[in-house]
Every structure is written in C-alpha cells, then in structure tokens.
Amino acid sequence: MQFRRFLFLPLLLAACQAPGPAELPPHAPNYITERDNRVLGEATAPGQFEVLTRPGDAAPNLWCAAGEYADRALRQPVAERIYVVKPLSPSVRRPGVKSVVFTVRPTADLPEPTRPPNDFSTTVSRPGESMTIGAASFMCRQLKPRFPLFEWLLR
C-alpha cells in the first residue's frame, strides 16, 4: 500500500506542471476573423502571421484579430504571448493594403519594446510589443460592432 502512495505522488505532481507552448499546426492556415480582418498564415516562419487592416482599423482591431487567430486557428493557450514582428506598414503579400506581422514564437533578434514608464497604450507601431492571447481576444469585446450596410457602401 505504501508503494502505491509513493507512485501516485510523482504522477500527481507531473500533472500539475505548467504546460509549455502548444504545438503549432503543420501549416499556418489563412483565416477571416469575425470582424472580417484577413489573416495570412506564414508558411516559412512557424507561428508567424500577417493581419491585414480594413478601413477604420486601429491598434485594438489588429490585436483583436491577432488574438482570435492565435486562439482559434493556431490553438494556442490564452496565457501565451503574441509579439509584433513587423509594425504597421504596407503589406508585402497584398499590395495596396497595410498590415502588421505578429508571432507566437519570438526569436532572439526580436527587440524589447522601449516604452516610457506608465505607458499602457496598445500599439502596433513598435516591434517587440506583446500581449497575451487572452488580453488580445478580450479587446474584441470592447470594440463597437460594425454595421454591414455602411461597410458595404465603403467597399
């Protein structure tokens, strides 16, 4: 009976360990978010993806799209972080559209963001900026709903 107790304790402790990063899908899928942002998966860099802007999009819209993609398409845990790799600039893959490149697997050459103390802004203009997937997904709730009729007129 004592032997079973000592066998059970290590198994219980192993189950309580914090999980590491989840496995990424074999190919990065393209995705359209609930707010109609297009997200292009990057096949050459695992965990990297490009969020295309729409008219009127601001930083919270792009973080929302990145969080939704990382959560639903890449199936990453909400505690993992999303990093800005390439700030808001013209898209290389879609000419005439601006985009932000994000990653869930940062490399060593990604710079630390330089921000003044007490700066809690959500920006996509500096490489290295990061946010948890959960916080980025929560931004979707704070955005005003889009009106399809008006967007149809803008296209």
For residue 107 the two structure tokens come to 């490399």
46 contact partners, CB below 8 Å, separation of at least 6: 24, 28, 105
Cα–Cα distance for residue pair 8/10, rounded to 1 Å: 6
Contact call for residues 66 and 82 (beta carbons, < 8 A): yes
- pTM score of the predicted model: 0.77
pLDDT tens-digit profile of 41-84?
A: 987 888 999 999 999 899 999 999 999 999 999 999 999 999 99
- Tell me the domain boundaries of the chain: 24-107+122-154
CB atoms within 10 A of CB 134: 15
More confident residue, 118 or 88: 88
Nearest to 50 by CA among 124, 150, 140, 148: 124
Give 145's pLDDT tier (boundaries 50, 70, 90). low
Looking at the DSSP bridge assignments, the partners of residue 99 are 52, 89
Q: Please say if the pLDDT value at position 15 is more than 60.
A: no
